[in-house]
Structure 1
Amino acid sequence: MLDFDRLPRGYQLLWPHELLRDELTQILDRGPFVQLADQLRLLFEEAFVGPGPVDDVPGAGFSGLDAAAFQHGLHILNRLDELQSAAVRRYFKQRKAPVESSSPVAMSRAQRELQFQSEANEVLRELDANGYFHQGMEMSDCVDDEGPGHAQLMRRHIAQRGGPDITWPPVNLTEFPERALTPEDCYTLLEILHDTVARPRSVQWHDFDDHAFYSNFDQRTGEAVLQWRINTLFDRCQLDFTMAAEGPDRGFVVSTVRDPRAELEAQVTTDTVDTTENNDLVTHAIALFRKRDSTAQDKRSACKDLADVLEHRRPLIKEHLPSKDEGLIFEIANKYWVRHHDASQHADYGEEFLDWIFWNFLSAIELTNRILARNAAPEAAL
């Protein structure tokens, strides 16, 4: 049992704090229940480093309501911000060493894509071993059943959705480099698996053949775990992609930028709440712009959606910005081929100008979001 005044220094998180907070909150929302201790142990085995947090969970498992486990879980939840993440530490020699050829900085794009796929396969094998792809794919590998096993069901499921023909779970590319997929097939596979994944909160073992049977699945947590693991790999391999966590392209592998502009996308989507139509236009524009195969026409349409939001807010912009600054915002939309296509507009500009226009418009919408929020603040106070 933990000392409720403190947490052991040895508790180190593998999961992000918010991910564990969300999943632990959902589990504890039911109050004390039979097998709560087992669910906490299964969660802590994934979320923490080492056996300590698992061994510290009190409770009887199958024998009754786990009141002690419930109090223990609440204690962890309330002290979660005190827990340290198990970050990989680079020591003096590693920090001072020159860039090695195996570092993403020194690798070609093709090498970085292969490294990403190799590490992604390891993540998928681990998640599959933890039951994340077993919902609706429960085996008949069990000796008591007949019919297709989990691996065969997964291959069929992937193929039916237009995915690549692969073995399941994915192979170790260090041993079988010739089995590597094209980047397009790899990302398609990840998107299919995002729509399949769900975290199991309970597991039972078949006594005869030591086989796991998973249950009590939660799709949102499974998706969040997959997004976090895959996006960590995209960052580490320095690929300009991300698995979208929000919006109409949630779960898709989309283009991104490795700078504060990525935060701007998320902020504008969250803060554009004045009308449903404006929020729909913003989310649609962002989804169009960051598609992996986004064309110049897609980007132009995205810019038009954002220009329409700004046009709707033009009275607000007139009120709060000097006329010269207001004119500059709409001069871009009117002089370049964005909203209209006539002889007075510039149409012979490169795609990089569409990128520039998109980020300018998105920044202007964020500015108007802040003005709207400021204007609403006194009313909220009343």
Structure 2
Amino acid sequence: MGDDVVVSLDLSNYELRWPASLFISEGERVLRSTGPWQDRAIWLMTEALAGTTAVADFEDLPNHTAPTSDPWATTATGWGTKRAVMDQHDWFTELIRRAPELKHAAAPRPYWPQRRGNGLAHDGSTARDTRRDFARLIGEFADNGYLVEVFGEECIDDHSELPDPSDVIDRRLGIPDLWPLAPEAWGEDTFYGLIEVFHDLVSRPRTRRFHSYSGCGWHHSEFHNGPARILYRWKVNQLLREAGIEYELAAEGEDLGRLVAVTDDARSQLVHRALNDSPPDTTAGVRHAIALFRGRDASAESKRSAIFNLARILEERRALIKEHLGKDEGALFEIANRFDLRHRRADQRGEYDEAFLDWIFWWYLATVELTNRLIASRSLA
């Protein structure tokens, strides 16, 4: 009689190329899938983890497709020995459970020419380099099948005419001949427009099959745009941040998937709470105000309109505010009434720096969020 063979999961050799939360959600979906699941698991690890080490470790493990009631079943370790404690299902389950422990893949430390400032691949233009990096990123998404749902996929057995990618982009952006991507030809508006367009085009294939006939290659299927857009925002925002570009793709709100001004973590959390915790009758107004204020091309007039939307919500809650602030409630509305924000009267003040608009917007949004919590606490009482 032998002992259990315990196979431990060593995470030190695996590096994550995805957000951990996305890897977990897609991994849990794989584990819930019916029928053969190993190919889905291998595809997920191929995408989300750097290198091939994890896939190789997974494939080395036994595949117990069904539990056995015989504790002394014959295994590769010999007759009369209990089966290994960890099989492919156990291993993958633990990998997903422990995903937050995985280190993220990082770019290699600079090599000699880069440290010496003699990199031959760069022309000295940070903007151009960023655009080339973005084009390479889109190439990676395309290679992994993320554009198949909208661009189609060639197959030697299928002679259907595929959509023209340039036409697909042109219909959305209004600029022809953008595919294949040529980053050296893009102006700023085209570059930022493409960032937003591809956010709406990507869709993750959860399965793939290899068509070996005449070297046809991989074919992708079972598309879902939710995880694709999460991954796309994560990768593009990382690219923009590293380039020092102070925009990011919005992850929620009326301007989901559109470039917005970067804010600090505290204000980002405030936006998240205001978007998600507002009562149904004010949600649309809050979403619209935030979209007006944080848009990449937001003007002073857009910011005034955003403040007006928030002031209207607060006006409707004036009794609630007065109940908690007493006579100080009037100070909240005095600024909106005395300055050139809402009523636009001749006696209002209009000569002030645009930074004032930023201050009043965040003050009003924080007050909306405060009143959201007061309303919620009343409903629980």
Do Structure 1 and Structure 2 share a fold, with TM-score over 0.5? yes
CA distance in 1, matches of 2:109, 2:266: 25
Most deviating of 12-21 and 253-262: 253-262
> Which residue does 1:19 correspond to in 2?
22
Number of the residue aligned with 1:198: 203
CA drift of 1:128 comes to 0.5
Q: CA RMSD in A?
A: 3.3
| 8 Å Cα contact 1:128-1:169 kept in structure 2 | no
Matches within 5 A, 1:1-382: 6-30=9-33, 32-34=34-36, 36-58=37-59, 69-88=88-107, 111-140=125-154, 142-146=155-159, 148=161, 153-166=164-177, 168-171=179-182, 179-207=184-212, 208-258=214-264, 260-272=266-278, 275-324=279-328, 326-374=329-377, 379=381
- Whole-Å separation in 1 of the counterparts to 2:174 and 2:375: 45
Structure 1 equivalent of residue 76 of structure 2? none
Identity of aligned residues (%): 32
For structure 2, which runs of at least 5 residues remain unmatched after alignment? 68-86
Q: Deviations over 1:187-228 (max 9, x none)?
A: 212222222110111112221124221101111011111111
Query: How far did 1:165 drift?
Result: 3.4
Task: Give the C-alpha shift of residue 3 in structure 1.
Answer: 5.8
d(CA) in 1 for partners of 2:275 and 2:236?
22
How far the C-alpha of 1:180 sits from its partner, in A, is 3.0
Q: Name the TM-score, length of structure 1 as normaliser.
A: 0.80
Give the whole-Å Cα distance in 2 for the aligned partners of 1:51 and 1:316.
59
Measure how far apart 1:322 and its partner are. Answer: 4.8
Q: Given the two structures, how large is their TM-score scaled by the length of structure 2?
A: 0.81
Shift of 1:159: 1.7
What is the CA-CA distance between 1:6 and the residue it aligns to? 4.4
Paired residues of 2:293 and 2:306 also in contact (CA < 8 A): yes
Report if the CA contact (8 A) 2:24-2:97 is conserved.
Answer: no
Q: Deviations over 1:321-363 (max 9, x none)?
A: 2533x23221111112222222332234343322222112112
Does the 8 Å CA contact 1:40/1:57 hold for their aligned counterparts? no
Large movers: runs of 4+ above 6 Å = 63-67
Counterparts of 2:258 and 2:319 in 1: how far apart (Å)? Answer: 36
Q: Matched residues in 1 for 2:188 and 2:7: separation?
A: 49
Give 1:33's aligned amino acid.
G
Letter in 2 for 1:287: A
For residues 265-290 of structure 1, what are the alpha-carbon distances to aligned partners after superposition, in whole Å with 9 as ceiling and x for unaligned? 22321222xx2121211111001112
Matches of 1:339 and 1:64 in 2, distance apart? 68
- Report the number of matched residues: 351
Q: Report which of the two structures shows the higher radius of gyration computed on alpha carbons.
A: 2
Determine if contact 2:339/2:350 at 8 Å carries over to the other structure.
Answer: yes
Could you tell me whether the CA contact under 8 Å between 1:203 and 1:214 is conserved in 2?
Answer: yes
